[in-house]
Amino acid sequence: MGERHLSIKSLVMYYRTLRGEVKAVDDVSFSLPKGETIAVIGESGCGKSSLAKSIIRLLPRNVSVYKGTILFNGLNLMDLDEETFTKEIRWTKITYVPQAALNSLNPIIKIGDQMIEPLLLHQKMSKSEALERAAKTLKAVGVNEAFLHHYPFELSGGMKQRVIIAMSLLTNPELMILDEPTSSLDVLTQANIMNLLKSIKKEMKISMVFITHDVSLSSELADKVAVMYAGQIIEFSDAEAFYNNPKHPYSQKLMESVPTLRTDKKLGFIPGSPPSLLDPPRGCRFADRCPFAFEKCVKDPPIMHLNEGFYAKCWLYEKESP
Amino acid sequence: MSSPLLYVENLKEYFEIRRGPFGKRSYVKAVDGVSLTLAGREAISIVGESGCGKTTLGKTILRLYEPTDGKIIFRGRDVTHLGWRELKWYRRETGLVQQDPFGALPPFMTVKRILEEPLAIHGIKDRKEREKRVYKALERVKLTPIEDFINKYPHMLSGGQQQRLVIARSIILEPKMIVADEPVSMLDASVRIEILKLLQDLQRRYDLSVIYITHDLSTTRYFSERIYIMYAAHIVESAETKEMLVNPLHPYTRALLNVIPDPDPSNRFMIKEVPIGEPPNLINPPAGCRFNPRCPNFMKGICDTKEPSLIEVGKGHYVKCWLYD
């Protein structure tokens, strides 16, 4: 593997609610070489959005624990104070496309004016210079620059999504975090956006963290795959290995539940539901739904290294671990 | 196939809109001349993107809307313009499974009351009898052990359990047909198949026909026998499921099938061909074939002037496209 561009070790983020502490991100580690994309796959409530927000430090107000290391180009982001982080990292080197991005445009500000805000704020550009950059970026994502002077309601869903992606490209970021970027779009529009992201990845060499619940869709971008379950990454793998031969029983079951269009297969599902993040089980968190569970699973499985830095968090792979 | 359970002919549903009190009247033509048939114990799917009119079609078939034009024949009876008294019979014979289970369930009623309500409305006065039917419905959707669920409120159930409850409510009067409108699009991947299998199981075991409305072609392969593709208020192609997936004819169907990914690591190296533009609005759809402004096989002077008709090109395979006429 090439140079490690982003390397996350033992990241933890808990937040406090009336009912107790929610362990949304609980000891998560992975690394990503420059220019590659990691897909974080998981079902709702598994902590994948929390993971995204933890990387770019957009924490909930009631956060109670936030620790671990996030090495970005060799720099530990956790060491930076809030001011430096805002100035140098967030919205400049690392950008974020939020979930339900379609609603994240301000309805009463013209597209152009809201696009250039980070440039004026973080890079102290002049307004005309910033607008020129915005026009160029819009063109790059396939939106006519005339839309700079329009309001969001004049755009279709797919166009809005392109504008948001353009916004996140404006500052020439090195890493984009995409949280379900197409979840409210139609099939054809979704394919369009995926084409756009693929060409951004190829031509601009931007690394991406792609958060999604859709296993099929994840394969459109992923070079690496992380599967999240109950606040933890239970499998971290290379795309080729993962889509052909997932290792963790949860990944296998999840793959079985994906309907395919081109091949016949027997569909399966996972009975039961994931544990609450308020009080996750002590042992393996998937144990009570796992068809392969055995005595050992009452203890929390450590990360079992498979090869080349990939792993599964499952007792079944104990022997293979070096 | 003897006489079908449901027969829909040239169904139209227009909604009037007016800008201002003296504004010009115009119509949103949400369903514009749709025909289909559904046999007993058959499952069909209606596939289309948002705004194509598929939900309106489902609701019009259930007579939740008054059709603008066309015919709906159910079990040999014309239900197109039934009055409210006879409509009650039609309500008993049909059911609806909504997309968002939590939104479809009253938050202040227990599972038992939710399921008893349709029974009470349809005149089952005996409490014992009602209870028996509630238990039977819960058993059929596998919300068991029943005692664990019967006194709960919807918010105490998981998403999958809520959807089971919605299904239980739709079948409690033992209907002959249900319309399931995106029944799993709000649910997690691992639960989706569970719910779809349940619907399939009910369909096969209890003499039920299902109209499955969805935007997701990949599930139709497993859960329906026939697919209708809807685009801009028209059915543009229909065929048996296998035939449709192996031999799609309409350029729109082909585009859809082409872009839907299977989990495959080689996807990330491919840029897929996608038709340009967006679906038209249904107030002023384009002349001729409604897909013509986006179609890769566009023929000038033909596709943009006359509307193609739905013709049979193979056994049971219909397509609405000039390429095949």
Confidence of residue B1 (pLDDT cuts 50, 70, 90): very low
**pLDDT above 50 (res A1):** no
pLDDT of residue A3: 57
pTM: predicted TM-score of the whole model, two decimal places = 0.91
Say what angle helices A157-169 and A127-140 make with each other, to 10 degrees: 120
Residues 280-319 of A with CB under 8 A from B: none
Q: What is the pLDDT of residue B86?
A: 92
pLDDT, tens digit, 9 for 90 and up, residues B147-188: 999 999 999 998 899 999 999 999 999 999 999 999 998 888
Nearest to A243 among B255, B259, B263 (CB): B263
pLDDT tens digits for B240-258? 999 999 999 999 999 999 9
Whether residue A316 has pLDDT greater than 90 = yes
Query: Per-residue pLDDT tens for B266-309?
Result: 999 999 999 988 889 899 999 999 999 999 999 999 999 999 99
A260 touches chain B (CB under 8 A): yes
**What's the complex ipTM?**
0.88
User: Is A271 in Cβ contact with B194 (below 8 Å)?
Assistant: yes
Among partner residues B50, B190, B256, which is closest to A254 by beta-carbon distance?
B190
Q: To the nearest whole number, what is the mean pLDDT of chain A?
A: 91
pLDDT range class, residue A101, cuts 50, 70, 90? low
Q: Cα–Cα distance between B275 and B255 in angstroms, integer?
A: 7
Q: Do B189 and A243 touch (CB under 8 A)?
A: no
Task: Indicate the pLDDT class of residue A2, thresholds 50, 70 and 90.
Answer: very low
Residues of A in contact with B278 (CB under 8 A): 156, 158, 189
Tens-place pLDDT, residues B105-131 = 999 999 999 999 999 999 999 999 999
Q: Are A50 and A25 in contact (CB under 8 A)?
A: yes
Instruction: Give the mean model confidence (pLDDT) for residues A42-69.
Output: 93
Map residue B324 onto helix, strand or coil. Answer: helix
State whether residue A108 sits within 8 Å of chain B by CB: no
How far does B112 lie from chain A, in Å, by closest CA?
22
CA closest to A200 among chain B residues: B271
Mean pLDDT on A168-195: 90
Residues of A in contact with B276 (CB under 8 A): none
**Cα A38 to Cα A32, A91, A207, A237, distances in angstroms:** 7, 19, 8, 9
Domain annotation for chain B: domains and CATH numbers: 6-224 (3.40.50.300)
Asked if A24 contacts A13 with a C-beta cutoff of 8 angstroms, the reply is yes
Contacts of A249 in chain B (CB under 8 A): none
Question: Which domains are seen in chain A, by residue range?
Answer: 4-93+171-317 (3.40.50.300), 102-170 (no CATH)
Over residues B195-238, the pLDDT tens digits come to: 999 999 999 999 899 999 999 999 999 999 999 999 999 999 99
Please, what is the average pLDDT of chain B? 93
Alpha helices, DSSP H only, in chain A?
Answer: 48-55, 82-84, 111-115, 117-122, 127-140, 157-169, 187-204, 215-218, 239-244, 249-256
Query: Does the beta-carbon distance from A240 to B265 stay under 8 Å?
Result: yes
Question: Quick check: A239 and B265 CB within 8 A?
Answer: yes
A220 interface with B at CB cutoff 8 Å: yes
Tell me if B244 sits within 8 A of B315, measured CB to CB: no
User: Per-residue pLDDT tens for B64-117?
Assistant: 999 999 999 999 999 999 998 999 999 999 999 998 999 999 999 999 999 999
Answer whether A239 touches B (CB < 8 Å).
yes
- Nearest chain B Cα to A224, which residue? B265
User: pLDDT exceeding 90 applies to what percent of chain B?
Assistant: 86
Residue B50 dihedral angles phi and psi, to the nearest 5°? -65, 140
